[in-house]
Amino acid sequence: MHVRTVDQILGESWEGYAQEEMAGAGEDGPGRDQVAELFGEPNPFEETVAPFGAQWPGLAASPAGPWADAEQVAAQVLGELADDDAWEAYLLDGAYRSADLPVLAEERGLEGAGCWPYGMYEMYEMYEMYEMCVVLRSWEERFGTRLVGLGDDRVIVSVAPPVRTSSEAEAIAAEHFAFSSDNITQGYDETLRVYAAKQIVGRRVWSFWWD
């Protein structure tokens, strides 16, 4: 098996999405009218991912220190989310590392525990489990993340260093888009810039979902 880097995994996802969107711009696909009626007309790809474009912008830099302790932040996040019934089904019993993902997925009976569902569109293939672990491990190293929630359509992580600037947040949002475009195009019906401002700046938790 050829093991890919996090930059390759996210870069191929980003550029594959861009090619598909730009090739199909203006076309009326099956169910498009119904989707537009429910959610409105989608933003053009260039507007959605601004200030970036079709070419993968690369990985975000790790925020400058000092950081809070990642384990303490994870415990705080778990405590806060436990007070909200909407998160109950996803929360884990503690903070976990990327290496724990395969065992956790198997314990929760997720999709054969050999791969991860990445979306409803045919253009997406399913992540191999190792690819999911590669992405999460990179975030552990650069952002002090810990896995605190898991479901068949959701991944939740705590984040140790608070992101303070819009430029930092937008670079991270590009990774989020490549990892789970539904977070932006469906989850919040926003652009990458708005998502960065609302969901990344100052936030201690990142939540991803796949339709």
Ramachandran region of residue 58, left (φ > 0), alpha (ψ -120 to 50) or beta?
left
Q: First vs last Cα of the chain: how many Å apart?
A: 28
pTM for this predicted structure: 0.85
Rounded to an integer, what distance in angstroms lies between the CA atom of residue 111 and that of residue 210? 13
Instruction: State the maximum Cα–Cα separation within the chain, in Å, rounded to a whole number.
Output: 50
Residue 112's H or E segment, with its range, is none
pLDDT at 118: 43
Q: What is the pLDDT of residues 130-179, one digit of tens each?
A: 899 999 999 999 999 999 999 888 899 999 998 999 999 999 999 999 99
Q: Is the pLDDT score of 195 beyond 70?
A: yes
Compare 47 and 128 and report the one with higher pLDDT.
Answer: 47
Q: Determine the Cα angle at 110 with ends 105 and 111, to 5°.
A: 125
pLDDT confidence of 1, banded at 50, 70, 90? low
